[in-house]
Amino acid sequence: MLGVCYYPEHWDEARWETDARRMVELGIRFVRIGEFAWSRLEPARGQFAFEWLDRAMDILARAGLKIVLGTPTATPPKWLVDECPDIIPYDKDGKPRGFGSRRHYTFSSETWWKESKRIVEIVAERYGNHQGLVGWQTDNEYGCHDTIISWGPEDLKAFKRWLRMRYQSPDQLNEAWGSVFWSMELTSFDDVALPNLTVTEPNPATRLDFWRFHSDQVAAYDKMQCDIIRKHSPDRWITHNFMGFILDFDHFKVGDNLDLASWDSYPIGFVEKFPFSEAERNRWAETSHPDIAPFHHDLYRAVGNGRFWVMEQQPGPVNWAPWNPVPKPGMVRLWTWEAIAHGAEVVSYFRWRQATFAQEQMHAGLNLAGLDELSPGGLEAQRVAQELASLGVLPDTRKARVALVFDYQSYWTTVIQPQGKDFRYEELCFRWYEAARRLGLDIDFVRPGASLEGYDLVLVPCMTEVDEAAHAALKAATGTILIGARTGSRDRNFRIPDNLPPGSLSEMTGHRVIQVSTLRPGLSDPVSGAVAGNGIRWREYLQTDAEVLSTFANGDPALTKKGSVHYLACWPDEKLLAAAVRHVATKADIPIVEVPDHIRIRTRGDLSFAFNYGDSPWSIPADCEMVLGEAILAPQELSVFRLKP
């Protein structure tokens, strides 16, 4: 179940044989290669140099490794950029982004599509049936370095095309966007401009369409690569390596192209990226917050329709966050097992050996910089391999009892019109997830509109547009439902619904929202009743015929219930959120195991896993059979056990 990312082109060919042998000795079975190698595969247009990759793949395959090959499109070479400057992306200020790192292309460029098709076709044809090849990775990390949205001439051209298809006539576009406001009406699709460089805020409906347009392009671009690969490489699977906390495109739509999802897990790096408080950052600096990686494991299990890998696992300090501490001893092993507990089929470390040159010299590998000598992270990977071997085949992941509906468009909508500066969709979902995990619950992510049947509890932190499919799925849900603020607050054209929020959901929830107040940091509105705590950041004023379970200070409804549908009319602080999630989980009859903030548990089939991200020990529930580890869970340790029936 272990893999590694390897760059044969970074090392003298004389070392490849030894590298492959040492990988296998370590317990590694999968190796991902090739995703940045374009300049070595095609040094000049039409001049191909495949022999080195042939030899590398043969060596890896002979050693018994299964190969995952990346298409090299994340790094168009210099000659191509010079020849085709129209592939270059533009930043929001309208400045071109240059050659000299990676991801310097825009999804909008027709030239780029042509060039991508060409190289993918050539690589897929050559290696599609290689005996060592088991799967493909398309490109590398769509969205990394802020590269989904581009603001150049090619983007404008493609955006106009997309708008023509969607709206058919300028009148319909004006109507959808509400262009009569501020005299923004257009008489032809040629009048459309990019929604940047405006004097003040551009039209939010235009911005949302611009986001949707880019998101659609990513999915279509990925599908183009998948179609070519499938033609030349039958019986091999295809994945893409997604990222943490990148929400600029709808990952579910890209997932539809793939056989399985994968993602790149850098638990400590993400502590700096996520809007934690400074106190939390310091607390989790060397272990990561216990929900950062699991949140994504569960998300990508859904994106991959039940199947996911970790394609890149942090093996030690990384190089790209503002600060890059060494993980506490044991954490590389713990993260690997945590991924497995959440159903990962393979955990693949980034990278085999620390580089001694270029941008990522300070990024750890399984081997020390330049050497054939395992790093501390490499030694932990070795231990995991031995433990995995002793456990044999692991049971499959089961459907969880709790569903969390996750919606990329709600992120776009709330970024475009935050109303309160600190309304951050990903943070909200993360906190809801955290609250459920603190109750020991397993969670499945579900895309809007997908079936919610069979879930005992459905959490909807926020879904700004509830389209017909999402509405139908919620209506058909048989479990207890908890819906958060802002849900149903916009229609597909970014308008307030005719009957006020929550629009089409009003029958189910029994309320309408007549006012919204956003609260500065430090301000709050106390909530009391069946659940208590504080509303912070966002607070709604409801008129409701539902039962009122909790109220704000002035007696207004804060938590309501109609049938099994609960509605929480604010951004809850930690206490209120914990109480609300506990309340609905109890209503749903789901057994709860409250865990301290540094402990998490998770099941895979009949196996239970416990993880300790903190400094104090924790006792595993008494009546169980230990499979791995100890009944007293020490800091940075994990245990695997079976609950006795």
| Residue (62 or 145) nearer to ligand GAL, CB | 145
Q: Is 112 annotated as a binding residue?
A: no
Q: Say how many CA atoms lie within 13 Å of 311 toward its Cβ.
A: 29
| Residue (37 or 318) nearer to ligand GAL, CB | 318
One residue of 284, 308, 309, 350 binding ligand GAL per CB under 6 A: 350
| Residue (144 or 226) nearer to ligand GAL, CB | 144
Q: What span, in angstroms and rounded, lies between the C-alpha atoms of 539 and 569?
A: 6
Q: What span, in angstroms and rounded, lies between the C-alpha atoms of 532 and 65?
A: 55
Least Å distance between CB 320 and ligand GAL? 6
Provide the β-strand partners of residue 559: 550, 568
Provide the β-strand partners of residue 512: 543
Binding mask 90-129 for ligand GAL (x = CB under 6 A): ----------------------------------------
The answer to whether 73 contacts ligand GAL (rule: CB under 6 A) is no
Least Å distance between CB 312 and ligand GAL? 6
Q: What span, in angstroms and rounded, lies between the C-alpha atoms of 58 and 198?
A: 55
Q: What span, in angstroms and rounded, lies between the C-alpha atoms of 87 and 67?
A: 30
Provide the β-strand partners of residue 565: 481, 562
From the candidates 35, 42, 115, 141, give the one annotated as an active-site residue.
141
Q: Give me the residue label for tokens 């699709």.
A: 189
Q: Give me the residue label for tokens 């581009």.
A: 150
Supply the DSSP string of 328-347, one letter for each residue: PTTHHHHHHHHHHHTT-S-E
Closest CA to 103 of 40, 147, 39: 147
Subset of residues 227 to 286 that bind ligand GAL, contact rule: CB under 6 A: 264, 266
Q: What span, in angstroms and rounded, lies between the C-alpha atoms of 555 and 548?
A: 10
Least Å distance between CB 11 and ligand GAL? 16
Least Å distance between CB 359 and ligand GAL? 8
Q: Which stretch binds ligand GAL (CB under 6 A): 85-93, 139-147, 532-540, 585-593?
A: 139-147
Q: Is 319 annotated as a binding residue?
A: no
154 tagged catalytic? no
Residue type, 64: G
Binding mask 205-224 for ligand GAL (x = CB under 6 A): --------------------
Give the length of the chain.
645
The answer to whether 611 contacts ligand GAL (rule: CB under 6 A) is no
CA angle, 101 then 106 then 110, to 5°: 130
Q: What span, in angstroms and rounded, lies between the C-alpha atoms of 514 and 541?
A: 6
9 tagged catalytic? no
Q: Which stretch binds ligand GAL (CB under 6 A): 23-31, 51-59, 140-148, 612-620?
A: 140-148
CA angle, 381 then 386 then 388, to 5°: 90
| Residue (250 or 264) nearer to ligand GAL, CB | 264
Least Å distance between CB 116 and ligand GAL? 18
Least Å distance between CB 247 and ligand GAL? 16
Tokens of 151: 């603001």
Q: Give me the residue label for tokens 């270029």.
A: 358
Least Å distance between CB 259 and ligand GAL? 20
The answer to whether 140 contacts ligand GAL (rule: CB under 6 A) is yes
From the candidates 42, 312, 345, 380, give the one annotated as an active-site residue.
312
Closest CA to 80 of 107, 125, 53, 42: 42
Least Å distance between CB 642 and ligand GAL? 36
Total residues binding ligand GAL (CB under 6 A): 11
Query: Strand 632-633 vs strand 618-619: parallel, antiparallel, or unpaired?
Result: antiparallel
Subset of residues 528 to 557 that bind ligand GAL, contact rule: CB under 6 A: none
Region for residue 110 given its phi and psi (left: phi exceeds 0; alpha: psi -120 to 50; beta: otherwise): alpha
| Residue (264 or 291) nearer to ligand GAL, CB | 264
Subset of residues 29 to 58 that bind ligand GAL, contact rule: CB under 6 A: none
| Residue (72 or 170) nearer to ligand GAL, CB | 72
Least Å distance between CB 507 and ligand GAL? 45
| Residue (36 or 189) nearer to ligand GAL, CB | 36
| Residue (274 or 552) nearer to ligand GAL, CB | 274
Residue type, 300: Y
| Residue (240 or 363) nearer to ligand GAL, CB | 363
Closest CA to 540 of 515, 519, 522: 515
DSSP-based three-state secondary structure for 353: strand
Q: What span, in angstroms and rounded, lies between the C-alpha atoms of 119 and 358?
A: 25
The answer to whether 69 contacts ligand GAL (rule: CB under 6 A) is no
Supply the DSSP string of 401-448, one letter for each residue: SEEEE--HHHHHHHHHS-SSTT--HHHHHHHHHHHHHTTT--EEEE-T
Q: Which stretch binds ligand GAL (CB under 6 A): 50-58, 136-144, 204-212, 555-563?
A: 136-144
Provide Rg for the chain, Cα atoms: 25
Binding mask 304-323 for ligand GAL (x = CB under 6 A): --------x-----x-x---
The answer to whether 613 contacts ligand GAL (rule: CB under 6 A) is no
Alpha helices in 256-313 (DSSP H): 267-273, 278-283, 292-303
Q: What span, in angstroms and rounded, lies between the C-alpha atoms of 207 and 184?
A: 14
Q: Which stretch binds ligand GAL (CB under 6 A): 137-145, 208-216, 448-456, 516-524?
A: 137-145
Q: Is 320 annotated as a binding residue?
A: yes
The answer to whether 387 contacts ligand GAL (rule: CB under 6 A) is no
Distance of alpha carbon 274 from the chain centroid: 13
One residue of 144, 148, 531, 568 binding ligand GAL per CB under 6 A: 144
Binding residues: 102, 140, 320
Binding residues for substrate: 102, 140, 320
Give me the active site residues, please. 141, 312
**Given the rule CB under 6 A, which residues bind ligand GAL?**
140-141, 144, 264, 266, 312, 318, 320, 350, 360, 363
